[in-house]
Amino acid sequence: MSQAPTERPALRSQRLNHVTHAPHTDLDALVKSHAPFDSRDSFARFVVAQYLFQSELQALYTDPALISIFPDLASRCRATQAGLDLADLDTALPAPVAGALSAPTLGQALGWIFVSEGSKLGAAFLIKRAQALGLSETFGARHLGEPAGGRAEGWKQFTRTLDALQLSEEQDAAAERGAVAAFERFTELLRHAYATDAALA
């Protein structure tokens, strides 16, 4: 009996979730393999990756064209919080890693922001793990904190706007490529952060 073809999701946010399922699953496995919640030192490596990723996306979060679409975008960036977390954890700010996103198209940028914003949902579980290390939304795990207005509502507002945008087929395809590339980049930064663990210890 032949399988019916999988229907393409109607909403853009659903399509982005669909195309990033595999890299998301791979990244989750990689995070678990490094056991970031076993110790503060290991968690600090995880925050290094978060800081690097969020720092690379600061240009998108402050881009006037993107802010015209998402008015609260600048306040959503977590690079500053991740930097403060590293100070709390007695860890120096890392140097930039070659290969950061540069001059993306609108479609690509939307894909990257989608991944960054979506990670805030998972952060609700991560901060509970961080609390076992004596960390919190005000010390060491600020970047995992509850966004103003709540995680769920912030995500709903973001995806409602994203789904309502009128984009060309090429822009939609670029958004999907951008979302996949964002997961691949964070995976690369996570590997970098843990590879330098011995040097920074």
| Helix 169-195, helix 12-19: angle, nearest 10 | 40
The domains of the chain are located at 12-21+37-200
Q: Can you spell out the DSSP letters for 116-173?
A: HHHHHHHHHHHHHHHHTTT-BTTBB-GGGSPPTT-HHHHHHHHHHHHHH----HHHHH
Report the Cα 151 to chain-centroid distance in Å: 14
For 52-80, write each residue's pLDDT tens digit: 999 999 999 999 999 999 999 999 999 99
CA 63 to each of CA 30, 39, 104: distance values in angstroms, whole numbers, following the listed order: 31, 37, 11
pLDDT of residue 129: 95
Exposure string of 47-77, with b = 16+ CB inside 10 Å and e = fewer, is: bbbbbbbbbbbebbbebeebeebbeebeebb
pLDDT of residue 36: 97
Diameter of the chain measured on Cα atoms: 60
Architecture of the domain spanning 12-21+37-200:
Up-down Bundle (1.20)
Give the residue ranges of the chain where pLDDT is below 50: 1-5, 198-201
pLDDT of residue 49: 98
pTM to 2 decimals?
A: 0.92
pLDDT of residue 127: 94
pLDDT of residue 2: 45
